[in-house]
Amino acid sequence: MNSCELHAYLLEDNPDLREALVDTLQELTCVRVIASSHDPSQAASWLSQHTRDWDLLVVDLLLPGESGLHLVQRLPARAPWQKVVLLSNYATASVRKRSAQLGIDAVFDKSTQVDALVDYCTRLCFLRDGAMTCEVSRTHDAAPQA
């Protein structure tokens, strides 16, 4: 395993978008999606059984049967290095505020901010490893700020 690699769980109900996000994150960042689902119950079960196996949780807001925010509320206590990101077409001010109240680390609009999600993940890679040199494919020359 690459020391710069971040292990992610992706909860997204749209299979095409889920596949595209996996491909994008794995191609452009050090993120490796180790598990994914479209089902909040399945995600909750996996996360409760693998409390320390993930570094990044990417959660869609609107899911079948419940909100991604409800899943985040039920998460077991997480380590400081474990980050939670909300991805939504409804990244409104009220959703961002509620996300912050729940300890969600970042919110991205899935229709306009996928590049910002990629940048966020790239920065996490560098920050996690103390800005060590990591082989990360990037689409531009801007270096992440530590």
Indicate whether 133 pLDDT > 50: no
Q: Which fold has domain 6-128?
A: Rossmann fold (3.40.50)
Per the CB < 8 A criterion, the answer to whether 70 and 41 are in contact is no
The string of DSSP codes covering 27-93 is HHSSEEEEEEES-HHHHHHHHHH-TTS-SEEEEESEETTEEHHHHHHTPPP--TT-EEEEEES---H
Residues across the chain: 146
How is residue 119 written in tokens? 């940048």
Task: Give 127 or 21, the one with higher predicted confidence.
Answer: 21
12 phi, psi to nearest 5 deg: -145, 130
Predicted local distance difference test score (pLDDT) of residue 145: 40
How does residue 130 score in pLDDT terms, banded at 50, 70 and 90? Answer: low
pLDDT tens digits, 46-105:
999 999 999 999 999 999 889 999 999 999 899 999 999 999 999 999 999 999 999 999
3-state class (DSSP) for residue 134 = coil
Nearest to 99 by CA among 126, 70, 78: 70
